[in-house]
Amino acid sequence: MAANPAPTSAAYDVERVRRDFPILNTTVNGHPLVYLDSAASSQRPLQVLRAVEDYETHSHANVHRGVHALSQAATAAYEGARERVRRFINAGSTREIIFTRGTTEAINLVAQAWARNRLGPGDEILITALEHHANIVPWQMVCEQTGCTLKVAPINRRGELEFDAFAKLLGPRTRLVAVAHVSNALGTILPVERIIAAAHAAGALVLIDGAQAIPHARVDVRALGADFYTFSGHKLYGPTGIGVLYGREELLTAMPPWQGGGDMILTVSFEKTTYNALPWKFEAGTPNMSGAVGLAAAMDYVETLGIEAIAAHETHLLELATAALTRIPGIELIGTAAHKAAVLSFTMQGVHAHDLGTILDSQGVAVRTGHHCAMPVMTFFGVPATARASFGCYNTEGEVAALVSALGKAREVFG
């Protein structure tokens, strides 16, 4: 992200990176694919595809169950992936790494296993005005279940958190602060270090929705001091259906299980069931082993490229695209924070975002259009929808030019 000094872009061989992603050779409507939708889901490199195939071909059986060779191989692969995740975010222990289906499930787990059991009338959960629906709705559900209250810290017209207003909303009633590390709709990087310090000073716990941050920044959960940190594999060049909840061990230990079933128990009788130890206490049922293996391979891949090098490359593209789009009459950038990740949300005067999406697609350019699962953000900016271009490790300067040229096509069609 922007905070890191940029290595020279010459050192980053994007053409070599692109060779790892065969899907990028796709032709769309007669044009080479220009994939600018990594914030929705990134593509997977061969290294990830092969790791998953290798697991399925040679190592698959159920985990934690059999003494036979394949079950042991599957268990080793799955638990090895957990250790890989631990190292990637520098958690203290694999007991703090819970595999989930994704960020959404990780947040819901904390909502139901922590908040629902601890909060009541008078207690407050504090979020911000730029959250994804996945970091709004689970807390609204907890409020309905427990009688606690949801508070929302405001943002300014640039899409930045109003920190002073946020700090004023913190108080003795605040039990949990749940914020995005990076906004998916606007690209804003939130000052999570300051947020965590202020929340802890007020006696509140902090959950970070890291779905959009994990592909762009080195995340060290211990240095951050986050109580819970959540992210998804498929935004980090890994598979869908696998994500992570990091939680501090003492918190997870004190939390009751969320779902019941196999793998999360030690003993079951009709009179009494005893629960398994961390992290399995929160992983009822047969888990997504191949997904975990793919996620571990994605982390290897990202570390081989270097997350700082990826971030510097993306920041370069973001600056290039921001400058280019600013020069196009009728384009308005939505989200102009001083610190941004590689997300560019915009509208074009006289052209609805949905029409823009179709026209860009006709030129091979894939962007997200709509409300980006952040309807309150759209309401704040007074737009029904935006187009969003987002950059990943494989995007090029030429693709920024293709976006600009496709926007010219939109102007040509709509006049």
Partner 1 sequence: MDLKDLYRDVILDHNRQPRNFGHLDTPDGRADGHNPLCGDQLSVFVRLAGERLEDIRFEGKGCAISTASASLMTEAVKGKDRAAIRDLFERVHTLLTRADAPPDMTLGKLAALSGVREFPARVKCASLCWHTLNAALEHGSATISTE
| Region 21-80 residues binding partner 1, contact defined as CB under 8 A | 29
User: Quick check: 359 binds partner 1 (CB under 8 A)?
Assistant: yes
Which of 260, 261, 384, 408 lies at the binding interface for partner 1 (CB under 8 A)?
Answer: 384
> Helices 46-58 and 289-305 meet at what angle, rounded to 10?
150
User: Smallest distance from the beta carbon of 107 to partner 1, in angstroms?
Assistant: 21
Contact 236, 215 (CB under 8 A): yes
Pull the structure tokens for residue 37.
């939708």
User: Quick check: 355 binds partner 1 (CB under 8 A)?
Assistant: yes
Residues 6+ apart with CB under 8 A from 10: none
Name the nearest CA neighbour of 391 among 318, 333, 323, 306. 318
Pull the structure tokens for residue 238.
């890994």
Q: Which of 268, 413 has the CB closer to partner 1?
A: 413
Which of 325, 370, 387, 392 lies at the binding interface for partner 1 (CB under 8 A)?
Answer: 370
| Region 145-184 residues binding partner 1, contact defined as CB under 8 A | none
User: Quick check: 405 binds partner 1 (CB under 8 A)?
Assistant: no
Q: CA 221, CA 86: separation in Å to the nearest integer? A: 10
Residues 6+ apart with CB under 8 A from 312: 4, 5, 6, 7, 9, 12
- Would you give the DSSP letter of residue 12? S
The helix (run of H) or strand (run of E) holding residue 127 is strand 124-128
| Cα separation values, 115 from 111, 232, 343, Å | 5, 21, 31
Q: Is 373 a catalytic residue?
A: yes
Using the rule CB under 8 A, give the single segment among 95-103, 123-131, 202-210, 357-365 that binds partner 1: 357-365
Q: Which of 2, 385 has the CB closer to partner 1?
A: 385
Q: Which member of 143, 148, 373, 393 is catalytic?
A: 373
Would you call the peptide bond into 279 cis, given omega within 30 degrees of 0 as the criterion? yes
Q: Which of 33, 289 has the CB closer to partner 1?
A: 33
User: Quick check: 365 binds partner 1 (CB under 8 A)?
Assistant: no
Using the rule CB under 8 A, give the single segment among 38-46, 276-284, 309-317, 345-353 that binds partner 1: 345-353
List residues near partner 1 by CB under 8 A.
Answer: 29, 351-355, 358-359, 362, 369-371, 378, 384-385, 409, 413-415
Query: Where in the sequence numbering do the catalytic residues fall?
Result: 373
